[in-house]
Amino acid sequence: MRLKNKVALITGGSSGIGRATCLLFAKEGAKVVVVDINENEGEATVEMIKKEGGEAAFIKADVSKASECKAMVDFAEKQYGGLHILFNNAGIMHSNDGDSQSTEEDVFDLTMNINVKGVFFGCKYGIALMRKSGGGSIINTASFVAHLGAATPQIAYTASKGAVLAMSRELAIIHAREGIRVNALSPGPLRTELLMKFLNTEEKKQRRLVHIPMGRFGEAEEMAKATLFLASDESSYMTGTEFLVDGGITAAYVTPE
């Protein structure tokens, strides 16, 4: 077990990458704090873990609110006595997020509050407990769109993920001598509810698929395995970097014949 005796806090744990990672981390021996705004599905993730013999607990939190992020970290300490892995994964991709002309200010602000401030607050409160726990690994979910203009416009989301990358590098440098590693996971297009709701027509799906050399969307379970590597001691000499798991899209953004 690669995460035996570790405590992991995972935001966005009710679905997609978050749920897949919760399940995998528990299987690898971690005690998992499942965090989400969706209480029913978050509790369902915990039940899935317990059915497999793992250990997990749920707390409802809106990561855009500082007080709720503090509460989730306090919960981890009270429940399991520390924190060794922090996966700041919660995020949104708003259906009304388009180009600069069509995207309203409230959509932009909401996206930044959840996708960027959520990572900031997670680290603000999580790092303090991680220090007390002897160090650990922080993984922040960014995206391949931080590198490329998206064929289907999503300006707020793209900007938010660029901010996550920059913040991850800064955090890594500041905390490297404390035994705290910080890396960003940048998934490519995935067959998750989040993206499928955004790419809500076959035309939109094909506009994205045509640029992926592998010719398919990635799976949440594939991202969970990448996150496990970053969370475990197998990546002990990695910090301040970005792990692109994208089916080749950033290496060859071309339309095949």
Which are the catalytic amino acids?
157
d(CA 54, CA 34): 13
Inter-CA distances, 208 with 90, 216, 218, 226, Å: 22, 9, 12, 22
Q: Which helix (H) or strand (E) holds 132?
A: helix 118-132
Question: Tokens for 149?
Answer: 């203009």
Contacts of 177 by beta carbon, 8 Å cutoff, 6+ apart: none
Residue 103, both tokens: 């995207």
CA 91 to chain centre: 7
Give 27's contacts (C-beta < 8 A, 6+ positions apart): 52, 54
> For residues 88, 54, 246 and 208, what is the CA-based torsion angle, rounded to 10 degrees?
-90
d(CA 180, CA 14): 26
Instruction: Please list, in sequence order, all residues whose beta carbon lies within 8 angstroms of the beta carbon of residue 193, skipping any fewer than 6 positions away.
Output: 15, 16
What count of Cα atoms within 13 Å lies in the side-chain half-sphere of residue 171?
28
Strand 85-88 relative to strand 55-60: parallel, antiparallel, unpaired?
unpaired
